[in-house]
């Protein structure tokens, strides 16, 4: 039996990958809680996690071992339930995933639930996946909407989502000019290929844009063909939420509007191939091209050009076009960001390592590859990482979100790996301790300063050091007092002393506009570090001739709260955020204080208060608006995608 100290247990915090259950039973001897399988389903359908049985969470959020006298009975009930298809549809656990711990004389059962693969999801409780599938959100399990479950089922049974034959659609729904441009590029790249001599329909069949279902006796356009070459109206007839959006923004301020935008507004075909051609030109614009020769041939493109092309193609071929989020590409002077609807088909860590490909739209992938665009061996992301390393820029970041809608965000920041200003500030703060740190440790400290926190996975993505060396580096920094840690297990994060970030510790440096946005005014910001360091990234990129970028203090009403809050209000929010439970009147008081200086969005309030967005909307914001204590930024559109709230003058609590 493995031992664990009470102190080690108290360091753990319930969250998105850790759940504690008392499991005492009626007689106190131990019993498998009926809610266990909901948590099992939620962890499996999200990102995995650990369940501790025989542990209680105290009102102040600490975990305390209560133990059980007959743990073997609980373990037996666990395996019986996992292997009973009437209880749960599949068993993902191995024997080594279930362990009984001795916490200073008290028996605690530790159960490590892995993330289910695409072919295993949904993992559900009971006989019906539509009503028995759960996902994890912060520290709670929530029942998946039917739409999400159906998408999981489709992902499970369909290796490619774009091969469907579309009934009622034909060649007349395609844009002839787009097809001609594609064929010209194809012929230029492969002038001797026999497909060049085919007529239009035969050519479309050969590349997968047109197909037949022999069993059903039908033929027609495939989903891939319509998306790649279609006219906008037929595309939206088949994919009602379809939207492509490119935005070039002048700077990182939240209220910054675009200086150039390309979207599906009816002024061009609206299909993927034309979007690629138009967007890639805009991405390349302002990139300085160094004069290079390869033999007698001038090389006009750099690894950065290749990385941007790969990122754009990856976004288009991995998107779930049945999802509710638009495809969005953002260009700023300090970064490029790519968002596609749909969650990852594999863990983020696996995708970043490369070597494995599980494309959602394999026919689209083929069509781009036929004209020399994109990889098909899982090497695309490593190629992007390599290009960014050649510029000594910060490693690319990939974030998978399932709320409010499934989406994947890939961010390429043109920020120095070790900005001189940050290094100087850390040297002043830590003195010789920083100078004596190893390169991996210095990188961890800089990342914590710039990104507000750093995780083991994030640091691994920034260095070639062995994972064990990364673990040792982080542990050493904590022991020496140069970093503090929070969270648990895969969600452990590290931050500068006294500068613990908010409830969601994992840094997301780029917040993209919300789905359905028409006016482009959604929040889009880089979080400012809360470490009191005053620095600006002033160095100009060697290949980007746009203005040098700076981390500026936002001045709009949608301000970055962490950097601009009144210290007293910040202290109130921090106090609330650090506790799971609080009286409703206290939560209301903090919300009113946060909204007193200007309009705040729900995601911002959730981050600052440590409460879920739905909890805030349903239990606090709607009531405060009805009581006349909060006003809406968009009063005529209560469900506006970027709705924000401001305290009505004279209505804020005097206690704030």
Per the model's pLDDT, the better-predicted residue between 632 and 295 turns out to be 632
Band the pLDDT of 298: cuts 50, 70, 90: low
From the list 167, 173, 157, the residue with the least C-alpha distance to 212 is 167
Q: Which helix (H) or strand (E) holds 219?
A: strand 218-221
Average pLDDT over residues 35-57: 92
- Distance separating the N- and C-terminal Cα atoms of the chain: 51
User: Looking at the domain covering 565-647, what would its CATH class be?
Assistant: mainly alpha
Q: pTM score, two decimals?
A: 0.65
Write the pLDDT tens digit of every residue in 97-118. Answer: 999 999 888 999 999 999 999 8
Give the mean model confidence (pLDDT) for residues 477-481: 91
Closest by CA to 494, choosing from 447, 425, 538, 550, is 447
Residue with tokens 């266990």: 36
For residue 639, pLDDT over 70 is answered with: no
With H, G, I as helix, E, B as strand and everything else as coil, classify residue 550: coil
The domain locations on the chain are 2-155, 158-414, 417-536, 565-647
Average pLDDT, the chain: 81
Q: Which pLDDT band holds residue 299 (cuts at 50, 70, 90)?
A: low
Q: With bands split at pLDDT 50, 70 and 90, how would you rate the model's confidence at 520?
A: very low
**What's the pLDDT band for 531 if we cut at 50, 70, 90?**
very low
What tokens appear for 121 in the block? 């999801």
Q: Please check the confidence at residue 56 and state whether its pLDDT lies above 70.
A: yes
Task: Give the three-class secondary structure for 425.
Answer: helix
Residue 599: predicted pLDDT: 84
| Number of C-beta neighbours around residue 497 at 10 A | 14
**Given this model, what pLDDT does residue 207 score?**
97
φ and ψ at residue 350, rounded to 5 degrees = -65, -45
The secondary structure of residue 617, as a DSSP letter, is I
Question: According to the model, what pLDDT value does residue 303 have?
Answer: 87
pLDDT category at 345 given cuts 50, 70, 90 is confident
SS3 helix, strand, coil % of the chain, rounded to 5? 35, 20, 45
For the cut 50, the answer to whether the pLDDT of residue 174 exceeds it is yes
Region 188-217: what's the mean pLDDT? 92
- Is 90 exceeded by the pLDDT of residue 534? no
**Average pLDDT of 573-596?**
88
Residue 409 pLDDT? 93
504-514 mean pLDDT: 41
Return the CA Rg of the chain: 26
- Interval 410-444: pLDDT, tens: 999 887 777 778 888 899 899 999 989 998 999 89
Residue 616 confidence (pLDDT):
86
Confidence of residue 172 (pLDDT cuts 50, 70, 90): very high
For helices 176-189 and 272-284, what crossing angle results, to 10°?
60
Q: How far apart are CA 405 and CA 604, in angstroms?
A: 17
- pLDDT at site 641: 55
Mind listing the pLDDT tens digit for each residue in 367-407? 999 999 976 666 778 889 888 887 778 888 888 887 778 89
Cβ-based neighbour number of residue 461 at 10 Å: 18
Per-residue model confidence (pLDDT) at position 502: 58
pLDDT at 115: 92
Q: Burial letters for 379-393: b for 16+ Cβ neighbours within 10 Å, e otherwise?
A: ebbbbbbebbbebeb
CATH architecture of 417-536: Orthogonal Bundle (1.10)
Cα–Cα distance measured from residue 514 to residue 531, given in angstroms and rounded to the nearest whole number: 29
Amino acid 544: pLDDT: 39
Phi-psi region at 648: left, alpha or beta (left = phi > 0; alpha = psi -120 to 50): beta
Q: Which fold has domain 158-414?
A: Heat Shock Protein 90 (3.30.565)
Structure tokens at 129: 């996946």
> Tokens in use for 402?
């399932």
Among 316-320, 354-358, 472-476, the range with the most confident prediction by mean pLDDT is 316-320
pLDDT at 552 (0 to 100): 33
- pLDDT band of residue 541 (cuts 50, 70, 90) is very low
Among the residues of 259-360, which ranges form H helices? 272-284, 303-318, 348-353
Mean pLDDT of 564-582: 81
| Residue 229 pLDDT | 98
Characterize the bridge pairing of strands 49-53 and 218-221.
unpaired
Residue 520 gets the label, from left (phi > 0), alpha (psi -120 to 50) or beta, of left
With a cut of 70, say whether residue 470 has pLDDT above it. Answer: yes
Of 180-189, 308-317, 328-337, 486-495, where does mean pLDDT reach its minimum?
Answer: 486-495
Tokens 């940050």 sit on residue = 422
Least confident among 3-12, 354-363, 538-547:
538-547
Instruction: Give the pLDDT confidence score for residue 376 in this predicted structure.
Output: 62
171: Cα separation from own chain's centroid: 37
Residue 318 buriedness (CB in 10 A; 0-12 / 13-18 / 19+): buried
- Helix, strand, or coil here: 284? helix
For range 182-199, the mean pLDDT: 96
d(CA 314, CA 338): 9
DSSP letters of 39-66?
A: HHHHHHHTT-EEEEESEEE-TTS-EEE-
Q: Can you tell me the mean pLDDT for 575-603?
A: 86
Assess whether pLDDT exceeds 80 at residue 600. yes
Does the fold of domain 565-647 match that of domain 158-414? no
Q: Supply the pLDDT for residue 297.
A: 59
CATH superfamily label, 2-155: Schlafen, AAA domain (3.30.950.30)
The alpha carbon dihedral of 90, 96, 97, 100 has a sign of positive
Q: Region 595-603: what's the mean pLDDT?
A: 84
**What distance in Å separates the CA atoms of residue 81 and residue 99, rounded to the nearest whole number?**
17
């Amino acid at each position: 039996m493995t031992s664990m100290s009470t102190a080690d247990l108290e360091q753990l915090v319930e969250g998105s990958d850790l759940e504690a259950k008392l499991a005492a039973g009626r007689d106190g001897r131990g019993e498998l809680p009926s809610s266990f399988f909901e948590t099992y389903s939620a962890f499996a359908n999200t990102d995995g996690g650990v369940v501790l049985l025989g542990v209680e969470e105290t009102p102040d959020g600490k975990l305390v071992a209560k133990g059980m006298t007959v743990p073997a009975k609980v373990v037996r009930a666990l395996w019986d339930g996992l292997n009973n298809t009437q209880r749960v549809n599949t068993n993902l656990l191995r024997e080594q995933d279930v362990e009984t711990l001795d916490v200073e004389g008290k028996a605690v059962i530790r159960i490590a639930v892995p993330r289910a693969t695409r072919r295993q999801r949904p993992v559900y409780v009971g006989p019906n996946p539509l009503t028995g599938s759960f996902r994890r959100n912060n520290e709670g399990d929530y029942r998946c909407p039917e739409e999400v479950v159906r998408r999981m089922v489709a992902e499970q049974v369909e290796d490619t989502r774009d091969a469907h034959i579309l009934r009622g659609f034909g060649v007349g729904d395609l844009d002839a000019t787009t097809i001609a441009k594609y064929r010209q590029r194809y012929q230029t790249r492969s002038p001797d290929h026999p497909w060049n001599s085919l007529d239009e329909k035969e050519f479309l069949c050969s590349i997968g844009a047109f197909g037949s279902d022999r069993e059903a006796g039908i033929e027609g356009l495939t989903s891939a063909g319509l998306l790649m070459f279609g006219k906008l109206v037929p595309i939206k007839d088949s994919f009602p939420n379809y939207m492509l959006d490119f935005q070039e923004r002048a700077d990182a301020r939240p209220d910054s509007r675009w200086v150039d935008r390309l979207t599906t507004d009816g002024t061009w075909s609206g299909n993927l191939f034309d979007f690629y051609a138009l967007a890639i030109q805009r991405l390349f614009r302002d990139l300085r091209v160094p004069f290079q020769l390869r033999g007698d041939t001038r090389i006009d493109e750099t690894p950065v050009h290749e990385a941007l092309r790969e990122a754009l193609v990856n976004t288009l071929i991995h998107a779930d076009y049945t999802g509710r989020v638009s495809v969005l590409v953002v260009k700023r002077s300090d970064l490029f960001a790519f968002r596609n609807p749909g969650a990852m088909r594999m863990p983020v860590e696996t995708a970043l390592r490369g070597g494995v490909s599980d494309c959602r739209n394999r026919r689209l992938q083929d069509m781009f590859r036929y004209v020399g665009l994109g990889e098909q061996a899982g090497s695309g992301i490593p190629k992007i990482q390599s290009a960014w390393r050649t510029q000594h820029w910060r490693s690319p970041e990939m974030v998978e979100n399932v709320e409010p809608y499934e989406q994947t965000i890939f961010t390429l920041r043109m920020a120095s790996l070790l900005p001189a200003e940050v290094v100087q500030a850390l040297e002043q703060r830590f003195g010789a301790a920083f100078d004596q740190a190893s390169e991996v440790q210095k990188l961890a400290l800089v990342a914590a300063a710039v990104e507000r926190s750093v995780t083991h996975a994030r640091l691994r993505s920034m260095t070639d050091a062995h994972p064990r060396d990364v673990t040792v580096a982080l542990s050493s920094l904590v022991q020496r007092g140069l970093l503090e840690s929070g969270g648990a297990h895969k969600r452990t994060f590290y931050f500068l002393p006294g500068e613990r970030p908010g409830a969601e510790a994992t840094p997301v440096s780029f917040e993209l506009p919300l789905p359905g946005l028409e006016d482009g005014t959604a929040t889009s910001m880089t979080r400012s570090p809360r470490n009191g360091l005053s620095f600006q990234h002033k160095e100009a990129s060697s290949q980007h001739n746009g203005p040098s970028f700076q981390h500026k203090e936002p001045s709009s009403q949608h301000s970055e709260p962490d950097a601009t809050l009144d210290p007293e209000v910040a202290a109130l929010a921090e106090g609330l955020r650090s506790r799971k439970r609080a009286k409703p009147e206290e939560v209301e008081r903090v919300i009113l204080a946060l909204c007193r200086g200007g309009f705040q969005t729900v995601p911002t309030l959730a981050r600052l208060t440590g409460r879920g967005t739905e909890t805030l909307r349903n239990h606090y914001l709607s009531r405060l608006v009805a009581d006349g204590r909060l006003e809406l930024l968009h009063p005529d559109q209560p469900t506006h995608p970027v709705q924000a709230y401001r305290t009505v003058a004279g209505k804020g609590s005097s206690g704030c």
